[in-house]
Homo-oligomer: A and B are copies of this chain.
């Protein structure tokens, strides 16, 4: 443990030093570094594929599922995407230095200016492209980042970070702006998240138990990327055919993501028409219903209490018949994870009541929950979807990786 602590604290100090240097870096310098990283990756495809195949070999022997192995694989197409993503980030407007507002409250000029956050720790799961996206976004926002990726992708991530640091060094940027935790021990995370005064923010993405441990240990601020127990409520005023298309897309378009639909709440006045319609459009989805839903959809499994809390991430959907809008709102308040929840309705009063009372990061109206995405929202790339309420809520893009400071310019002004 002592040498692990020394290793991690050394990384934290190096990140803090790099962060001071990044603070004053022009957009041109940062963009040149991002493009140099893209070039370094492009020039080292065989090396990357090698490292990746070591991860895949190990994963195959360890019995990882084909789905997970597929997510781990760095195909040439995926390397192209990683390179394109870096070029995109280089093309985004630099958020640092942006004036967020000027006022003259009392003689002096007061300006709110966007600044980097400082040192960010990012803890994430296995996809190698997250390594590059996180590094690129943090760099563009002027932050130093310490990355801790999933062990399944360790070789690929290490190889990518080496190339990132090569690109930084080539353009005269402190390479400690991007560091990767190579030690596998979980305690590395415990040490990282207690570096108060050095680390400014921890962003954990991944399993519930990981996030819970980070929250319980951390003394530095955390923005959680937690699970999505997403609901859609279908009002009697809904256009049922559009609602069915929205529900089906929310559920099946990519069921393994945090913005996929997990619970369907249907008003009793339309349940007998709507539920069979939906079942017919997605016969491959396992439905689990409350008593009233089961009375309509014969043969489906009963939903147990724990079903209402569950994030299936699979082709499973729990279905409940509700007596009204307010029962739906209360159900979401009790069981939801405040990620993405929606209503299908045409009645304006129902819509506005739902929108104002449902306290979720993203509230959808007659639209798929799958549309909750930084890219689709026009925020550029996203580092994740925050389920926290402070600082950043929902998709977290470049601006959400910055903070601000107040600059007060006077001419000898004093307080009287």
Interface of A with B (CB < 8 Å)?
Answer: 20, 23-24, 97, 103, 105-106, 108, 110, 115, 117-118, 196, 200-201, 215-216, 219, 221-223, 239, 242-243, 245-246, 249-250, 253, 333, 342, 353, 355-357, 359-368, 370-373, 376-378, 388-391, 393-395, 403-416
Q: Which of B24, B243, B359, B394 contacts A357 (CB 8 A)?
A: B24
| A-B CB contact pairs (8 Å), 14 listed | A23-B357, A103-B377, A115-B359, A239-B412, A245-B414, A250-B414, A253-B414, A362-B408, A363-B408, A365-B408, A365-B409, A366-B411, A377-B406, A389-B403
Contact (Cβ within 8 A) A403 B393: yes
Contact (Cβ within 8 A) B221 A390: yes
Q: In the complex, what distance in Å separates the CA atom of A410 from the CA atom of B364? A: 8
Which residues of the other chain, B, contact A108 by a CB distance below 8 angstroms? 367, 371
Q: Which of B106, B201, B394 contacts A405 (CB 8 A)?
A: B394
Q: In the complex, what distance in Å separates the CA atom of A390 from the CA atom of B372? A: 23
The 10 closest A-B pairs by CB, nearest first: A367-B410, A242-B412, A249-B414, A105-B378, A370-B415, A391-B391, A390-B391, A367-B413, A389-B403, A368-B414
Minimal beta-carbon separation of A145 from chain B (angstroms): 15
Q: Which of B23, B243, B371 contacts A356 (CB 8 A)?
A: B23
Contact (Cβ within 8 A) A407 B359: no
Which residues of the other chain, B, contact A239 by a CB distance below 8 angstroms? 412
Task: Indicate whether A413 sits within 8 Å of B357 (C-beta atoms), given known contacts A110-B377, A117-B389.
Answer: no
Contact (Cβ within 8 A) A201 B390: yes
Q: In the complex, what distance in Å separates the CA atom of A136 from the CA atom of B32? A: 50
Minimal beta-carbon separation of A15 from chain B (angstroms): 14
Which residues of the other chain, B, contact A243 by a CB distance below 8 angstroms? 412
Task: Indicate whether A376 sits within 8 Å of B215 (C-beta atoms), given known contacts A24-B356, A363-B407, A366-B411.
Answer: no
Minimal beta-carbon separation of A212 from chain B (angstroms): 9
Minimal beta-carbon separation of A349 from chain B (angstroms): 13
Closest B residue by C-beta to A394: B406
Which residues of the other chain, B, contact A368 by a CB distance below 8 angstroms? 410, 413-415
Contact (Cβ within 8 A) A253 B406: no
Contact (Cβ within 8 A) A363 B406: yes
Contact (Cβ within 8 A) A221 B221: yes
Contact (Cβ within 8 A) A412 B367: yes
Q: In the complex, what distance in Å separates the CA atom of A364 from the CA atom of B108? A: 10
Closest B residue by C-beta to A250: B414
Q: In the complex, what distance in Å separates the CA atom of A377 from the CA atom of B103? A: 8
Task: Indicate whether A415 sits within 8 Å of B117 (C-beta atoms), given known contacts A377-B110, A403-B390.
Answer: no
Minimal beta-carbon separation of A409 from chain B (angstroms): 4
Q: In the complex, what distance in Å separates the CA atom of A370 from the CA atom of B305? A: 56
Q: In the complex, what distance in Å separates the CA atom of A64 from the CA atom of B14? A: 46
Task: Indicate whether A410 sits within 8 Å of B219 (C-beta atoms), given known contacts A23-B357, A378-B105, A391-B391.
Answer: no
